[in-house]
Amino acid sequence: MQLQQLTCFVTVAEERNFTRAAALLHMAQPSLSKQVHNLERELGAQLFDRNPGGARVTAVGEALLPYARRILGDVESARREVEELVGLRAGRVRVGSLPSLCTTLVADSLQHFHEEFPAVQLIVEEAGSRQLVKHLEEGILDLAVIVLPAAREESDLVTQPLLTEELVVALPATDTTVTATKLKVADLQRFPLVMFREGYDLRSTTIAACHSAGFDPTFAVEGGDMDAVLSFVESGLGVAVVPVLALRGRPKLRQIPFDPPRLRRTIVLARLRHVQPSRAAQAFQSAVMRTAAEFGYERGQSRG
> What is the pLDDT at residue 150?
59
Query: Low-confidence residues of the chain, pLDDT below 50?
Result: 297-304
pLDDT at site 228? 92
Confidence at residue 64, expressed as pLDDT on a 0 to 100 scale: 95
Whole-structure pTM over 0.75, yes or no? no
Distances (CA, A) of 216 to 187, 193, 206, 211: 12, 11, 10, 6
| Interval 106-120: pLDDT, tens | 999 999 999 989 989
Identify each DSSP E strand in the chain by its residue range.
48-51, 54-57, 92-97, 121-126, 143-147, 157-172, 193-196, 219-224, 240-243, 253-257, 264-272
Tell me how far apart the alpha carbons of residues 282 and 126 are, in angstroms, rounded to a whole number: 20
Q: What is the pLDDT of residues 64-94, one digit of tens each?
A: 999 999 999 889 888 877 776 777 877 889 9
